[in-house]
Chains A and B, each alone.
Chain A
Amino acid sequence: MSTVQPSEVDERTGADEQVTPPTGVALPIAPQGLIFVSDAGQACGVDSCG
């Protein structure tokens, strides 16, 4: 996954549809709609933590 700075991105990419969660904030429905600023954090998955 690529990492970019927000200032480098002008338009939402990837997702051409939106879903509206109960709070009314639109999120992309596909991962292509997300822009990874950093995925370097420590996290837990199903099989591991850290």
Chain B
Amino acid sequence: MSDSIKVDIWSDIGCPWCWIGKHKFEDALAVYEASESSIPVEVEYHSFELHPDTPLDFVGTELDWLTSARGMPASQIAANMRRAAAIAEAAGTVYDYANLKHINSIKAHQLVHYAKARGTQRAALDRVLKAFYLQGRGVEDVQDLADLGAELGFDRDDVVRALEADEYLPAVRADIDQARALDIHVVPFFIMDGRYVLSGAQESSAYADLLTKLAGQRVEVSR
């Protein structure tokens, strides 16, 4: 048994429940890590594409996409989004569903993998998500993503080169293939210790409770 607890998280950039779930998980992680009995936690994010069929030149909101491409009733979608916005606010963040652009996230995922290969995955994912949810940026254009990469301290020209060459597309595909193999159809999807699943955005206490139990198991085994 590893000394640390591994948490694997599949998520997509434009998925509001992933955004909210990430907040709740990280709140839980902070509380857990502040406890005396905590043991180290290693977090790895994995790419997932909810809408790989989104044209790169699609112009519209999530509501536009779900009604036009998926044929969902606008009233139902709007009700779900209002609920998500209220929960996001309670979680200390913002989900401005009326103004957020629906995106094809494949390039954004590649930027996160570019950063992951350089040891800064979480910072890159945080930056991309903040750009998208809090600054209203599209995060799908190579130049826009390269700007974010430069903010993260990367060589902007090299980010452009990597994104235009789809250098990290195989890494994104590998994450998605692994999700498919695990029968993951919805995100966010959390796997702790390689097997224990919390599916969807849960209350922070659910993440904290599972981390605490897994840490407790480590203590028992070590005795």
Contacts and interface: CB of A to CB of B under 8 A. Distances in A.
A24 to B, nearest CB: 10
Given A19-B178, A27-B178, A44 B196 contact: no
A27 to B, nearest CB: 5
B185 A29 contact: no
B42 to A, nearest CB: 8
Contacts of A45: 50, 185-186
Per DSSP, chain A at the interface is: loop
B197 A40 contact: no
A41 B15 contact: no
A36 B101 CA distance: 33
A43 B197 contact: no
Q: Quick one: which of A30, A34, A45 has the most chain B CB within 10 A?
A: A34
Contact of B200 (A12, A28, A31, A40): A40
Interface residues of A, number: 33
Given A25-B44, A27-B178, A41-B21, A49 B195 contact: no
Contacts of B186: 43-45
Contact of A37 (B20, B50, B210, B216): B210
Per DSSP, chain B at the interface is: mixed
Contact of B194 (A26, A40, A43): A26
B81 A44 contact: no
Interface string A6-44: 110000100000010111011111110111111111111
Contacts of B112: none
A34 B200 contact: no
Given A7-B213, A44-B186, 11 more contacts: A7-B216, A25-B44, A34-B195, A38-B198, A43-B17, A44-B187, A45-B50, A47-B72, A48-B66, A49-B66, A50-B80
Interface of A: 5-7, 12, 19, 21-23, 25-31, 33-50
Interface of B: 6, 8, 12, 15-18, 20-21, 42, 44, 50-51, 62, 66, 70, 72, 77, 80-81, 83-84, 87, 171, 174, 178, 181-183, 185-189, 191, 193-202, 206, 210, 213-214, 216-217
